[in-house]
């Protein structure tokens, strides 16, 4: 399957960084991390009741200011992931059939992350021990390449801050360092989101599929292979792409896609400087498109939010 539009933008951001001569994290070392070492999460739409306990727990555990803007300051009510929100529950409703589903969104902790490959300052890193993708503010330039590179539209930027940060789920790494689990998983009353190793959770997901014929969409585990595989996995009863960020992606990671494009350019004897200039000019235009698209997504998803 080819790249979708967001993935194509991501490939460009990743490619531009690569062509600028900065170090990229292509075919990350963590790619060879054994499945039983990767920390993972499994979310099951059929178990989630949309209570949003995980949203509040995430906010509290990460010391975020609750986003109460939409409720006039009364209670936490983010429309989508934003600079105060690392985890969100959205409601999808098919107006014709009445089919509905909750969906949880946070960083997917990609096995070969485009954000890491695109970052020219190595501010985004993949933990070599457990594969978690984290951001470190000490080297971040604020270029936002990671935002454009991410095929799932996850990293957010603190526009209103003097010293802005990139905000995204870090898999509660500070809690894991204390021997605790991710707050969202620990608080869920339905075990709709659980954590473990990727190996364990793939087994759990396959067993649920085998035990419940016809329950899950195409007996598929989203994230098993998409974009080279992610450490956050989904079992859904509706088509994943209807749920917002679970976009259709091929089996190759974005950095792998970029490498293939670069190889093609070199094979065509196109100078890397010319290729970089071309990519940068297109990127500038796409950057504006990206802003409009992000705004549109937030408006659209906000309409579907259940309060
Ligand atoms: S989902 Fe986006 S931000 Fe998270 S690891 Fe993947 S590319 Fe990076
Ligand atoms: S792992 Fe932690 S930071 Fe990530 S969504 Fe869950 S509670 Fe939030
Ligand atoms: S706490 Fe569990 S059941 Fe409640 S919204 Fe979050 S994932 Fe769904």
Tell me, what's the pLDDT at 303? 37
Residue 240 · residue 227 · CB < 8 Å: no
Contacts of residue 228, defined as CB under 8 A and 6 or more positions apart, other chains included, come to: 31, 110, 111, 112, 251, 252, 253, 254, 256
Return the DSSP state at 220.
Answer: -
Q: CATH number, domain at 168?
A: 3.30.70.20
Residues with CB under 6 A from ligand 3: 48-54, 89, 102, 104, 187-188, 190, 192-193
What pLDDT, on a 0 to 100 scale, did the predictor assign at position 23?
42
State the Cα–Cα distance between residues 30 and 93, nearest whole angstrom. Answer: 37
User: Residues with beta carbon inside 6 Å of ligand 1?
Assistant: 107-110, 113-115, 133, 150, 152, 154-155, 168
Q: Per-residue pLDDT for 298 more than 80?
A: no
Residue 55 alpha carbon, nearest atom of ligand 3: 6
> How many angstroms separate the alpha carbon of residue 73 from the centre of ligand 1?
30
Average pLDDT over residues 95-118: 96
**Whether residue 272 has pLDDT greater than 90:** no
- For the CA of 185, the closest atom of ligand 2 is 6
Residue 2 has pLDDT above 60, yes or no: no
Residue 4 above 60 pLDDT?
no
Q: Cite the DSSP H helix spans in 156-253.
A: 173-176, 183-187, 198-211
The whole-number pLDDT of residue 72 equals 82
Domain count, the chain: 1
Residue nearest to atom 3 of ligand 2 (CA): 169
Distance between CA atoms of 247 and 150, rounded to whole angstroms? 11
Residue whose CA is at the smallest distance from ligand 1 atom 7 = 150
Which residue range(s) make up the domain with 168?
Answer: 5-303
């Amino acid at each position: 399957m080819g790249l979708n539009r967001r993935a194509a933008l991501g490939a460009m951001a990743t490619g531009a960084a690569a062509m600028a001569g900065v170090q990229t994290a292509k075919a990350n070392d963590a790619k060879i991390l054994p499945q039983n070492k990767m920390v993972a999460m499994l979310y099951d739409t059929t178990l989630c009741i949309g209570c949003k306990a995980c949203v509040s727990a995430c906010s509290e555990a990460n010391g975020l200011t609750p986003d109460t803007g939409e409720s006039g300051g009364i209670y936490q009510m983010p429309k989508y992931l934003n600079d105060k929100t690392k985890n969100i529950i959205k409601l999808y409703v098919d107006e014709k059939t009445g089919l509905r589903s909750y969906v949880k969104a946070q960083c997917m902790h990609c096995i070969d992350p485009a954000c890491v490959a695109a970052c020219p300052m190595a501010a985004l890193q993949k933990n070599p021990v457990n594969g978690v993708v984290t951001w470190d503010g000490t080297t971040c330039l604020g270029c936002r390449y990671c935002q454009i590179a991410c095929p799932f539209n996850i990293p957010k930027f603190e526009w209103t801050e003097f010293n802005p940060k990139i905000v995204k789920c870090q898999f509660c790494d500070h809690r894991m360092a204390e021997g605790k689990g991710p707050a969202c998983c620990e608080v869920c009353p339905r075990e709709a989101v659980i954590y473990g190793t990727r190996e364990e959770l793939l087994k759990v997901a396959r067993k649920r599929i085998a035990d419940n014929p016809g329950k899950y969409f195409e007996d598929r585990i989203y994230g098993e292979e998409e974009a080279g595989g992610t450490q956050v996995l989904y079992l859904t009863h509706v088509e994943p792409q209807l749920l917002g960020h679970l976009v259709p992606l091929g089996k190759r990671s974005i950095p792998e896609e970029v490498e293939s494009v670069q190889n093609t350019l070199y094979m065509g004897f196109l100078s890397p400087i010319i290729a970089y200039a071309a990519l940068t000019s297109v990127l500038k235009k796409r950057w504006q498109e990206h802003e409009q698209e992000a705004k549109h997504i937030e408006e659209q998803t906000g309409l579907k939010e259940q309060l």
